[in-house]
Structure 1
Amino acid sequence: MYEVILNLHSYLAYIVLALLFLTVANAILGLVGNKPFTLTKDFRMGLFTLILSHMQLLIGIVLYFVSPRFQLWGEMGGKVMGDSMARLYLVEHPFINILALVFITIGWSKHKKLMEANRKFKTFAIFYGIGLVLLLSRIPWSQWL
């Protein structure tokens, strides 16, 4: 079961990162190009990215508790913070990625209250962009690629 969840979490991460990148790029292009904010493209890109990001979070939470690494908390206790790999998997990756999802969710919520297209694009570019940078900063690249 662990392997299935790990693979699902890894493969969905590619999709989420690609969608997040496309949504941020689309928002920047819409802002710079002074384009109208459309429901068929811009709204749906933001919403689909939000939904898949939250699905990834839920899968990640399940993975966190079924992972063999979770047992390191019991074995190492507070010494987890002294081991850089254990700290990355048990503390930094989950915390920063949850924080990234908070920024993405705030960006989604803020954009719904705005009426002007430029402000909607700017909100997506800032909040989804911060989420993207945070996610990229805490991916365990050595294990993932």
Structure 2
Amino acid sequence: MYEIILNLHSYWAYLVLFILIIASLNALIKSFAGKEYSAKDFRISLFTLIVSHIQLLIGIILYFVSERFSLWSELGGKVMGNSLARLYLVEHPLVNIIGVALITIGYSKHKKKLTSKAKLRTIAIFYTIALVFILSRIPWQQWF
């Protein structure tokens, strides 16, 4: 079961990154170009929200079924002294939860805006910051 969840988490991450990059670039380009907010923009931002939340749920399940979770009891307070354990047990989960929270906040805030410019700017800011956060804590050595 662990391997299935790990593979699902890893492959779903490609979808999350792909759609988050698309949503961020779309909002940035349309915002700077002064274009109108459309139904397509709404669908892209909503799909980004959905796939990122699914990834978060898969990640939470993986966190608790992973062999690495036992490092909390093995290392005790020394988890922060071990860079690999700190990445997998603290940094990666925390920063990605913050990233998904930023996506959620951006999506919620953009719905309350009345003009296209404000909607696109809100999505661009929150989704781009979330993208930077998520990219900063991906365990790249695990992927390649």
Q: Under a length normalisation based on structure 1, what TM-score does the superposition of the two structures give?
A: 0.98
In structure 2, what is the equivalent of residue 109 of structure 1?
A: 108
In structure 1, what is the equivalent of residue 89 of structure 2?
A: 90
Distance in 2, Cα, partners of 1:144 & 1:94: 16
Output one character per residue of 1:84-132: Cα deviation in whole Å (capped at 9) or x when no partner: 0000000000000000111111100100000111111100110001100
In structure 2, what is the equivalent of residue 29 of structure 1?
A: 29
Amino acid paired to 1:58: L
In structure 2, what is the equivalent of residue 12 of structure 1?
A: 12
Output one character per residue of 1:20-52: Cα deviation in whole Å (capped at 9) or x when no partner: 00000000111111111111x100000000000
SS of the residue corresponding to residue 58 of structure 2 reads helix
Instruction: Report percent identity of matched pairs.
Output: 62
Output one character per residue of 1:39-86: Cα deviation in whole Å (capped at 9) or x when no partner: 1x1000000000000000000000000000000001111111100000
Amino acid paired to 1:13: A
Amino acid paired to 1:34: G
Runs of 5+ unmatched residues, structure 2: none
Distance in 2, Cα, partners of 1:125 & 1:108: 10
In structure 2, what is the equivalent of residue 65 of structure 1?
A: 64
In structure 1, what is the equivalent of residue 125 of structure 2?
A: 126
In structure 2, what is the equivalent of residue 143 of structure 1?
A: 142
Question: Is residue 2:3 matched to residue 1:3?
Answer: yes
- Structure 1 outlier segments of 4+, above 6 Å: none
Distance in 1, Cα, partners of 2:121 & 2:23: 11
In structure 2, what is the equivalent of residue 38 of structure 1?
A: 38
Paired residue total? 144
Runs of 5+ unmatched residues, structure 1: none
Distance in 1, Cα, partners of 2:33 & 2:94: 35
Distance in 1, Cα, partners of 2:106 & 2:118: 11
SS of the residue corresponding to residue 37 of structure 1 reads coil
